[in-house]
Amino acid sequence: MEILLSPPVAFLAYIPLVLVLVGLGRLLAGPSNATPMKTSIYGSGEAPPTFEAAPGYQPFFLIALFFAMVHLAMLVLGLGSLPTPAAVYLLGLFVALIALILG
């Protein structure tokens, strides 16, 4: 019974189960009839926008870098005592965080 709980064996056991569920789902879904109405984009009756909807990911990189640096600092602090190199590293990390916040 212990062998059944190992990840590779469990993965191989789940493959047939997933295939059975996919087949059952296809039987329940019925045949697909493609019509122009089904293949068109739903726009809720409004004209599509002519401008870019999403501004991109550029503003979020600053926030992601901030949280990555905070998590790294907490990891260094949580690993044990605070030797001198770790304290210098954390001080530099907090200076970088302040520079990130102030832009």
pTM of the model: 0.39
- pLDDT the model gives residue 17: 94
Domain boundaries, the chain: 3-40+54-102
Three-state SS at 66: helix
- pLDDT the model gives residue 48: 65
* Distance from C-alpha of 63 to C-alpha of 70, rounded to nearest angstrom: 11
Say how many C-beta atoms besides its own lie within 10 A of residue 43's C-beta: 9
- Strand intervals (E) in 9-51: none
> CA 33 → CA 14, 23, 25, 37, 78, distances in Å?
31, 19, 17, 11, 58
Task: Write out pLDDT tens, residues 23-75.
Answer: 999 999 878 788 887 777 766 777 766 777 666 777 788 788 888 888 888 88
Task: Write out pLDDT tens, residues 80-101.
Answer: 677 777 788 888 888 888 887 7
46: tokens are 């409004």
